[in-house]
A and B are shown apart, each in its own frame.
Chain A
């Protein structure tokens, strides 16, 4: 059971509405990356990979994949900028959608 260089979480887009989702602690796909199941070793990652593949096969999500994150104090942050934007929403139109909440909580 080797430890991963960086923790990972699984992500995909939900089939029906396209929403970005992450594989959550209870095996349910969640809309908030902070509720994602953080995987720190190969055994955990392989188990989640199987769950993600099954969700793909069950037509719940589309094309799941693992991303590197940092996870501290309940905050899960993707390492790649592209995935940071996927998690937080666009950096424009801050009056709308997920980015409005992200923006408001940062401003608070």
Chain B
């Protein structure tokens, strides 16, 4: 994986020293809150309901064991012994003291991590497919491009005060695991007819109060033009994006109001102007970044592991876990392990310090020192020998992380909600926990099959409810929590925004409503292998509405 060069190290270390000085000046009263707030936000520090919150970037969701151990150390030393992995492949600490944060940032810098640009109206942490470099369907590893974009966007002077925040995602496979079309810019790596690498570029996707699917603005930008083209988009957005209304300031609104064709003309004009300038990527530079992400030294193994087969024959629980949580690897004899942080009764995405230490050890021992954080709030061990799966599983069982539910109804993603977040209007985590308990029976979960359920505690949609096959949005209605249900959303390559099914449900009713929806699907599906989403697309919302609200009057 990428290692800091001298420039990166100097940049991060000097920022820590600068922030330490700023915190001291804030505490001494030299800086007012009005002066300090934009500074702390630029360093990932929020003030939430109960405490400060520190959001740490995990670039494109990739980290090594040493970094994971440092996250455990921070949780244990400065926080309440746990952290929360987020839907943007970051980690949030919920309880740091302001006066400890400079020490935390110094600890992070010692393992090449930071919290810069995890907030504010700038280019945020670039996200990527969490199976990058491992999945069997990949055209190319998207992380070198994500790293090039990270370097370009870090402290980019022109884009430090954009109209609004800006999110970029990169995928390297036709199957979209990163909700690429719901980002301000989504990049899908492709090869052109000549076999050269480049990207298809989508713009104007997003969730929040105005959800939109990204639009294809260019079906092939050559690798050497990657930065020039993205810079052209940012420049057009920075000049023309609305600054008069924060709810209309994202690029999706600019695309919508201007029209794609007209905006594309502006982008292309700017691109033509700068394409032969300093941002043109020399082949050697790309290849040298790529070298950081070279595949590990895989052993040459058969695609069939007799150890695995024997272990499966002996242990039904293990078989179930393998079937759901191990995905096909591009290298014969290896698998990709999804460690679902979704055990019954737990908060989605939460991991204790000791669990993080276990994950670090497993990454070190079994996965070439590599771990990933997925936007679905799980941890991935990307390169595990099939022969080692049983040992990994046993370790996860012993440490409460062997939920065999990846991609099932209880693999819920949920934002922190009103239990922590100052913006939230309703709680998310307790709803996730109730649904998790209601569907705890594994036979039943497997009978239901693939189903993505996503919960947000406010319209800002950090829990991605718009793209849940079942989405739940918590709102405040006259002081009471009310939960609206959307159906049919999808964050993959067949991107769709869910449709509101009808009036909302109280907190006491919501998990029952989900059960009614699921029962309706089970009764209506054509066959066991017709997924919830396929069935919904075939039959539409009417049967679900009728089951939830009774027959519609003619």
Chain A interface (Cβ < 8 Å from any Cβ of B): 13, 15-20, 56, 58-59, 62-63, 79-82, 85-86, 89-93, 96-98
- For A82, what are the chain B residues with a Cβ–Cβ distance below 8 Å? 49, 418
Binds A, one of B25-33, B119-127, B169-177, B386-394: B25-33
- For B96, what are the chain A residues with a Cβ–Cβ distance below 8 Å? 18
- For B481, what are the chain A residues with a Cβ–Cβ distance below 8 Å? 81
**Of the candidates B48, B80, B98, which one forms a contact with A96 in the assembled complex, judged by CB atoms under 8 Å apart?**
B80
**Cross-chain pairs A/B with CB under 8 angstroms, 30 sampled:** A15-B98, A16-B99, A17-B52, A17-B97, A17-B98, A18-B47, A18-B51, A19-B51, A20-B49, A20-B50, A20-B51, A56-B33, A58-B29, A59-B27, A63-B33, A80-B479, A81-B481, A85-B49, A85-B418, A89-B50, A90-B419, A91-B419, A91-B430, A92-B347, A92-B429, A92-B430, A96-B80, A96-B81, A97-B80, A97-B95
- For A89, what are the chain B residues with a Cβ–Cβ distance below 8 Å? 50
**Of the candidates B99, B347, B350, B433, which one forms a contact with A17 in the assembled complex, judged by CB atoms under 8 Å apart?**
B99
Q: In the complex, are the beta carbons of B49 and A86 less than 8 A apart?
A: yes
**Of the candidates A17, A58, A59, which one forms a contact with B51 in the assembled complex, judged by CB atoms under 8 Å apart?**
A17
> In the complex, how many angstroms separate the beta carbon of A18 from the nearest chain B beta carbon?
4
The verdict on B88 contacting chain A, using a C-beta distance below 8 Å, is no
- For B383, what are the chain A residues with a Cβ–Cβ distance below 8 Å? none
- For A18, what are the chain B residues with a Cβ–Cβ distance below 8 Å? 47-48, 50-52, 96-98
- For A17, what are the chain B residues with a Cβ–Cβ distance below 8 Å? 51-52, 97-99
CA distance A86 to B52 in the complex (A): 13
- For A93, what are the chain B residues with a Cβ–Cβ distance below 8 Å? 80, 82, 347, 350
Using CB atoms, name the residue of chain B closest to A90. B419
CA distance A19 to B26 in the complex (A): 16
CA distance A97 to B49 in the complex (A): 14
> In the complex, how many angstroms separate the beta carbon of A86 from the nearest chain B beta carbon?
5
User: What are the 8 closest A-B residue pairs judged by CB atoms, nearest first?
Assistant: A90-B419, A18-B52, A17-B97, A18-B51, A59-B29, A92-B429, A86-B49, A96-B80
Q: Dominant SS at the A interface?
A: loop
> In the complex, how many angstroms separate the beta carbon of A65 from the nearest chain B beta carbon?
12
- For A13, what are the chain B residues with a Cβ–Cβ distance below 8 Å? 47, 51
Additional A-B contact list (20), CB under 8 Å, known A16-B98, A97-B80: A13-B51, A16-B97, A17-B51, A18-B47, A18-B50, A19-B51, A20-B50, A59-B28, A59-B29, A62-B47, A63-B33, A80-B479, A81-B476, A85-B427, A89-B50, A92-B347, A92-B433, A93-B82, A93-B347, A98-B50
CA distance A82 to B82 in the complex (A): 23
Q: In the complex, are the beta carbons of A15 and B27 less than 8 A apart?
A: yes
* Of A80, A82, A86, most B-chain CB atoms within 10 Å: A82
- For B430, what are the chain A residues with a Cβ–Cβ distance below 8 Å? 91-92
The verdict on B368 contacting chain A, using a C-beta distance below 8 Å, is no
Q: In the complex, are the beta carbons of A62 and B50 less than 8 A apart?
A: no
The answer to whether residues A62 and B433 also contact, given A18-B97, A81-B479 and a CB cut-off of 8 A, is no
Using CB atoms, name the residue of chain B closest to A56. B33
- For B97, what are the chain A residues with a Cβ–Cβ distance below 8 Å? 16-18
CA distance A17 to B28 in the complex (A): 14
- For B366, what are the chain A residues with a Cβ–Cβ distance below 8 Å? none
CA distance A16 to B347 in the complex (A): 28
Q: How many A-B residue pairs have CB under 8 A?
A: 73
- For B350, what are the chain A residues with a Cβ–Cβ distance below 8 Å? 93
CA distance A98 to B376 in the complex (A): 29
> In the complex, how many angstroms separate the beta carbon of A81 from the nearest chain B beta carbon?
6
Q: In the complex, are the beta carbons of A16 and B50 less than 8 A apart?
A: no
The verdict on B220 contacting chain A, using a C-beta distance below 8 Å, is no
- For A20, what are the chain B residues with a Cβ–Cβ distance below 8 Å? 49-51
Using CB atoms, name the residue of chain B closest to A89. B50
The verdict on B505 contacting chain A, using a C-beta distance below 8 Å, is no
Using CB atoms, name the residue of chain A closest to B429. A92
- For B52, what are the chain A residues with a Cβ–Cβ distance below 8 Å? 17-18
Which residues 47-83 in B have Cβ within 8 Å of A in the complex? Answer: 47-52, 80-82
Using CB atoms, name the residue of chain B closest to A17. B97
- For A98, what are the chain B residues with a Cβ–Cβ distance below 8 Å? 50
* Of A18, A91, A97, most B-chain CB atoms within 10 Å: A18
CA distance A92 to B28 in the complex (A): 35
CA distance A9 to B476 in the complex (A): 22
Return the CB mask of B393-432 against A: 1 if under 8 Å, else 0: 0000000000000000000000000111000000101100
The answer to whether residues A19 and B50 also contact, given A81-B481, A85-B419 and a CB cut-off of 8 A, is yes
- For B480, what are the chain A residues with a Cβ–Cβ distance below 8 Å? 81
CA distance A89 to B304 in the complex (A): 51
CA distance A106 to B418 in the complex (A): 21
- For A80, what are the chain B residues with a Cβ–Cβ distance below 8 Å? 479
CA distance A44 to B307 in the complex (A): 75
Using CB atoms, name the residue of chain B closest to A59. B29
- For B427, what are the chain A residues with a Cβ–Cβ distance below 8 Å? 85, 91
> In the complex, how many angstroms separate the beta carbon of A60 from the nearest chain B beta carbon?
10
- For A58, what are the chain B residues with a Cβ–Cβ distance below 8 Å? 29
Using CB atoms, name the residue of chain B closest to A97. B80
CA distance A20 to B420 in the complex (A): 12
CA distance A96 to B52 in the complex (A): 17
Q: In the complex, are the beta carbons of B95 and A90 less than 8 A apart?
A: no
> In the complex, how many angstroms separate the beta carbon of B23 from the nearest chain A beta carbon?
10
- For B80, what are the chain A residues with a Cβ–Cβ distance below 8 Å? 93, 96-97
> In the complex, how many angstroms separate the beta carbon of B48 from the nearest chain A beta carbon?
8
Which residues 241-255 in B have Cβ within 8 Å of A in the complex? Answer: none
CA distance A92 to B50 in the complex (A): 13
CA distance A85 to B476 in the complex (A): 14
CA distance A63 to B419 in the complex (A): 20
CA distance A19 to B476 in the complex (A): 25
> In the complex, how many angstroms separate the beta carbon of B45 from the nearest chain A beta carbon?
9
Using CB atoms, name the residue of chain A closest to B433. A92
> In the complex, how many angstroms separate the beta carbon of A71 from the nearest chain B beta carbon?
18
